[in-house]
Structure 1
Amino acid sequence: MQQLFWALGTVVIGVVGCAGYFYVSNLVLDTLLPGRGPDPVRAGRNINRANLIRPWLFLAPAILALGIYLVYPVIESVWLSLHDRSGQNFVGLSNYVWMLNDPGFRESMFNNMLWLLVVPAAATGFGLAAAALTDRIWWGNIAKSLIFMPMAISFVGASVIWKFIYDYRAPGEPQIGILNALVTWFGGDPQAWLTIPFWNNFFLMVILVWIQTGFAMVILSAALRGIPEETVEAAVLDGANPIQIFFRIKMPQIWGTIAVVWTTITILVLKVFDIVLAMTNGQWRTQVLANLMFDWMFRGGGDFGRGAAIAVVIMVLVIPIMVWNIRRANAEMKGH
């Protein structure tokens, strides 16, 4: 209960603090630049200046928070990546040279690329299929709710759920894992799925696809409903069947939204950490960049230089996709 009270108190203080800041800052601005007075010219000039400053008063807390929690960590990470494990002695690009020659880093890069090839395509594809199919059935909203439900579960919580699905017991013992229970029911031998090299990566990917399919479905469903009915009716009059209408009429009109969903999931995949940590902790050749960074930064004595260098690589991989995603989203908004 004490933690609950602390959480509620933090929320109340935050809300009251924000309201107080906005009230006081606007009051000070209006006092320094009064919009009324004997000189109408000066009053009009003050109003114009206040209108230019006022938006920055609202943005200032967000800019300050971003500076402290985003900009500063980026600069510090780059700086640490040029230092040794203690973060005190400058070593230049030695940590990046180490990465290029380290088998663990190459394994992590390979696994991340594998995740990039599979997860965004699968999640977007399943989400698009779910969006198209649920719009054609009377219980579509119920189906959408069920598909979207995993989005409400944390990555660690989802990992715990799937750990029970993949659970392994020795042959002859009762199998509590759903997957091995089905395998033994059909006469097969139970498998320790998470220890099978290469294929265990796909078993981990299933978890993220399961979570992100709901996100893709919601966004793409809204895009499908925004397609003008005239184009679909014209295609029907021309004799097009439902499959042709979907692939040749609907998909080209929502391709921009598909690309945004795809790249959004891609950014998430590049930062995947929780699932790997909770399921395998990077064992059995399932290591990914974020988990490798965590290992070097906080385990094995803590090597701040190498951990920061891996963090910089993740950031460099994410930035181009993020920039393209933002530009694409802005273009979509301008088009509407």
Structure 2
Amino acid sequence: MTTTENRTDGRGIVSQAMVTIGRVAVSLFIPLAAFGILWAGFIFLRDSNASQGIIALVAIIWGVGGVAMLFWVADWVVNRMPLQITKKLQPFVFVGPALAILAWYLFLPTMRSLYLSFFDAQSKNFVGLANYLFAFTDAKMLESFLNNLMWIILGTGGAVGFGLLIALLADRVKMEKVFKSLIFMPMAISFVGAGVIWRFVYAYKPAGEDQIGLLNAVVTFFGGDPQAWFTLQPWNNIFLIVILVWLQTGYAMVIISAALKGVPSSIIEAGRIDGASEIRIIRSIVIPYIASTLVTVSTTIIIISLKIFDIVFTMTNGNYGTEVIASMQYKQMFRFLHYGRGSAIAIVLVLAVIPVMWYNLRQFGKREGF
């Protein structure tokens, strides 16, 4: 009896071991097969002489289907592991690809830029902190720092201020959704597209010629002389900042409007009963109540202002005293081919953005955003 039981237990152990080995083999085979399929699709897209229609169709099927298959395979493999391991690994099945993309397209390029920032134009000779010394002493760089500061103050203040004002006013009218949709519409336009549109607003023709620019057309209609708005320093920076305000006011309005909906009406009514005016209610009740939302919106637009590039590049190309940090980085890297200086300026920009991002995420954390 004991011998029979031992033989049965032994066969059971062997059988369980065979099942485990089979699961491991299958778990290894399926990811390898999935990778092989994806690699075959990549080779086809890279080397195929097929028509563009077929290549586009394969790219769509291969791209979407390949990503779906990777998620399915990864989830299948993790679910066949012991329960404790599954619980620890399963979140990374879905977060892992995002982390991998961030590492490949953000972290590694940042580290490479940091490395290149200590070398000369051709990335051959080590120059220490010379590129950073250039970034903080060059006249054009100092100009770009001051201009970015102007973008932060006026751009953020203008967008948040107008967004708050419009949100307060739209909340009191019947056609709220219509007005909000119209004001939010510029958000659908890219920064380059907005620059092209506003070039027609600021367009200049000499006196006596037909003015195709909207602003000069208005000026000459009232008897004034047309102005080359982009050459008027430092006002030309303000004219460019107006475009950012036009684009971001809709975003600020939508977020602030959502926060306003959460202000308890009982508190507002209590203020009115106590005799407070509407301005006093807004200043003492509404704004303190939505302060965290205002901070979040402000920090988001500050980040946009710090890395602003498209508007300046499209409108003035950084001429006439309108350089910003990103435009200087672009010129040093791709126009003057000085990879050391370009990388150093990029690192300076990253260091300037990080504290704002950290503060923004901290505010999200306080509001249980994560």
TM-score normalised according to structure 1 size: 0.92
| Structure 2 partner of 1:273 | 309
The letter of the residue matching 1:273 is F
| Structure 1 partner of 2:281 | 245
The 1:6–1:292 alpha-carbon spacing in structure 2 relative to 1, beyond 3 Å, is farther
| Structure 2 partner of 1:303 | 338
Tell me, what secondary structure is at the counterpart of 1:86? coil
Q: Highest CA radius of gyration, 1 or 2? A: 2
Q: CA deviation at 1:23?
A: 1.3
**Structure-to-structure mapping, 1:33-182, within 5 angstroms:** 33=81, 46-182=82-218
What is the CA deviation profile of residues 26-64 of structure 1, one whole-angstrom value per residue up to 9, with x for unaligned ones?
Answer: 222233x2xxxxxxxxxxxx2222111111121111111
Give, in whole Å, the separation in 2 of the partners of 1:249 and 1:258. Answer: 14
**Structure-to-structure mapping, 1:196-215, within 5 angstroms:** 196-215=232-251
Give, in whole Å, the separation in 2 of the partners of 1:294 and 1:218. Answer: 33
Give, in whole Å, the separation in 1 of the partners of 2:367 and 2:134. Answer: 42
The letter of the residue matching 2:91 is P
Q: CA deviation at 1:289?
A: 0.5
Give, in whole Å, the separation in 2 of the partners of 1:109 and 1:235. Answer: 44
1:21 pairs with 2:70: yes
Q: CA deviation at 1:17?
A: 1.7
Q: CA deviation at 1:98?
A: 2.0
1:325 pairs with 2:360: yes
Q: CA deviation at 1:10?
A: 4.2
The letter of the residue matching 1:15 is V
Tell me, what secondary structure is at the counterpart of 1:83? coil
Give, in whole Å, the separation in 1 of the partners of 2:56 and 2:149. Answer: 39
The 1:164–1:72 alpha-carbon spacing in structure 2 relative to 1, beyond 3 Å, is same
Give, in whole Å, the separation in 1 of the partners of 2:240 and 2:57. Answer: 36
Q: CA deviation at 1:329?
A: 1.3
| Structure 2 partner of 1:184 | 220
Give, in whole Å, the separation in 1 of the partners of 2:201 and 2:54. Answer: 36
Tell me, what secondary structure is at the counterpart of 2:84? helix
More displaced stretch, 48-57 vs 317-326: 48-57
Q: Percent same amino acid among aligned pairs?
A: 47
TM-score normalised according to structure 2 size: 0.83
Give, in whole Å, the separation in 2 of the partners of 1:312 and 1:4. Answer: 41
What is the CA deviation profile of residues 241-297 of structure 1, one whole-angstrom value per residue up to 9, with x for unaligned ones?
Answer: 222211111110000100110111000000000000000000001000100000000
RMSD over aligned CA atoms reads 1.7
| Structure 1 partner of 2:347 | 312
Give, in whole Å, the separation in 2 of the partners of 1:332 and 1:81. Answer: 38
More displaced stretch, 6-15 vs 161-170: 6-15
The letter of the residue matching 1:97 is L
Structure 1: state its 5+ residue gaps: 34-45
What is the CA deviation profile of residues 84-129 of structure 1, one whole-angstrom value per residue up to 9, with x for unaligned ones?
Answer: 0011221111111222321111111111111111100110000000
| Structure 2 partner of 1:230 | 266
The 1:334–1:101 alpha-carbon spacing in structure 2 relative to 1, beyond 3 Å, is closer
User: How many correspondences in the alignment?
Assistant: 320
What is the CA deviation profile of residues 116-146 of structure 1, one whole-angstrom value per residue up to 9, with x for unaligned ones?
Answer: 1110011000000011111111111111001
Give, in whole Å, the separation in 1 of the partners of 2:185 and 2:296. Answer: 21
Tell me, what secondary structure is at the counterpart of 2:368? helix
More displaced stretch, 231-240 vs 252-261: 231-240
| Structure 2 partner of 1:41 | none
Tell me, what secondary structure is at the counterpart of 1:194? helix
| Structure 1 partner of 2:296 | 260
Structure 2: state its 5+ residue gaps: 1-50
The 1:110–1:15 alpha-carbon spacing in structure 2 relative to 1, beyond 3 Å, is same
Q: CA deviation at 1:240?
A: 1.9
More displaced stretch, 99-108 vs 141-150: 99-108
Tell me, what secondary structure is at the counterpart of 1:333? coil
Q: CA deviation at 1:228?
A: 1.3
Give, in whole Å, the separation in 2 of the partners of 1:295 and 1:4. Answer: 37
